[in-house]
Amino acid sequence: MAALQPVRGTRDLLPDAARAHRAVEERAFAVATRFGFGEIVTPIFEFTEVFKRTLGDTSDIVTKEMYTFEDRGGDSLTLRPEGTAPIVRAFISGGLAQQVPVKAFYRGPMFRYERPQKGRLRQFHQVGAEVLGVEGPAADIEVIVLGAHILEALGLGDTVTVELNTLGDLESRAAYRETLVAYLKGRQGELSEDSLARLERNPLRILDSKDEGDRAVVADAPVLADSLNTTSRDFFARVTEGLDSLGVSFEISPRLVRGLDYYTHTAFEFTTTHLGAQGTVLAGGRYDGLCKQMGGPPVPGVGWAAGVERLSMLMTDPPAAPRPVAVVPAGAPEDEVLATRLADRLRRAGLVVDLGYSGNMRKRLKRANTLNARAAVILGEDERAAGAVTVRDLDSGEQTRVALDDLEAALDRYR
**Binding site membership: which residues?**
82-84, 112, 126, 130, 258, 262-263
Q: Please report, in range form, the residues annotated as the binding site for L-histidine.
A: 82-84, 112, 126, 130, 258, 262-263
Peptide bond into 6 cis (omega under 30): no
